[in-house]
Amino acid sequence: MIVITAPTGNIGRRLLPLLLDSAPARGEELRVIVRDPARLPDAVRDRVEVVTGSHGDPAVVDRAFDGADAVFWLVPPDPSRTPDDAYRGFSLPAANALAVHGVGHVVGVSALGRGTPVAGRAGLVTASLAVDDLMEETGVAYRALANPSFFENLLEEAGSIREKGCFTDVVDADRKAPLVAVADIAAVAAGLLLDRSWTGTGSVPVLGPRDLSPNDLARIMTERLGRPVRYERQALDDLRTTLVSHGLDKAFVEAVVDMKRAKDDGLDAGVTRTPDTATPTTFEHWVAQTLEPAVRS
């Protein structure tokens, strides 16, 4: 039995079809934890066992982990809570339930940065790495998917790209860093969940095919979208003001700002890309398949 949390999120909704394609042939059953089962596609809902509720709820994870062999663990962002509570606090009931039910393997969604000089002051990333520590303390075989920023973050800029021909971030325009498509993260997770020959604890970097700077992204978008796209660097103070104006918890806002600052200080640069850590989806392909339809809609 494989349990999938956040099955309707960016990664989960790409992970589920991969598991549905392969798990039954291996004799694996699938169980999902979801707040609103109606958000699951009919073709999916009919082929999985559904546990309704939040996977931060002790009673829910107790039901869901009963008889489970493996768990896909993803903490959903919650800007209404402090980072420690939103990540480690949210995960504590699951950690307890893993031990009670003797779950053998967990694959968690995490971030790059462990071992870098800025890991302890990286805001949301620091909070995410604390979840890895918590899971490792349970004694399960654990793999943290160590991810950089996602291509999909640019979907939030689709309107600005369409209307103004620009996108923003806070990092230096020429700073190259790894970027990854969420579909590739899902594929790595599926491989680990289906082949559980691994033991112990550790991280699995998921780095995309190559490092790119904001200026690289602007050049590729210009070429692929057939319209000029430029990068505008935003000051951290301006980012903070914008986030506060949206009514987000102040501690959460500072954690976002700290994460952005850490990324500009090289948070994601601590792992060398190898054939094992590279993933196939190029930014060019992602723009054509995902960003361009969003920009043109």
| Residue 172 included in any domain | no
* CA–CA gap between residue 292 and residue 131 (Å, rounded): 35
| Residue 76 included in any domain | yes
Instruction: State which residues form the domain around 194.
Output: 2-150+179-207+265-279
Tell me what pLDDT residue 44 has.
87
| Residue 286 included in any domain | no
Tell me what pLDDT residue 249 has.
85
What is the CATH classification number for the domain harbouring 108?
3.40.50.720
Name the pLDDT band for 276 (thresholds 50, 70, 90).
very high
Give pLDDT tens digits for 59-95. 999 999 999 999 999 999 888 888 999 999 999 999 9
The upper half-sphere exposure of residue 7, i.e. CA atoms within 13 Å in the direction of its Cβ, equals 30
Residue 27, pLDDT above cutoff 90: no
Give pLDDT tens digits for 118-127. 999 999 999 9
Tell me what pLDDT residue 229 has.
97
Number of domains present in the structure of the chain: 1
Instruction: Please list, in sequence order, all residues whose beta carbon lies within 8 angstroms of the beta carbon of residue 91, skipping any fewer than 6 positions away.
Output: 56, 73, 75, 131, 134, 135
| Residue 90 included in any domain | yes
| Residue 290 included in any domain | no
| Residue 221 included in any domain | no
Query: Which whole number is the average pLDDT over 33-52?
Result: 92
Q: For the whole model, what pTM was predicted? A: 0.95
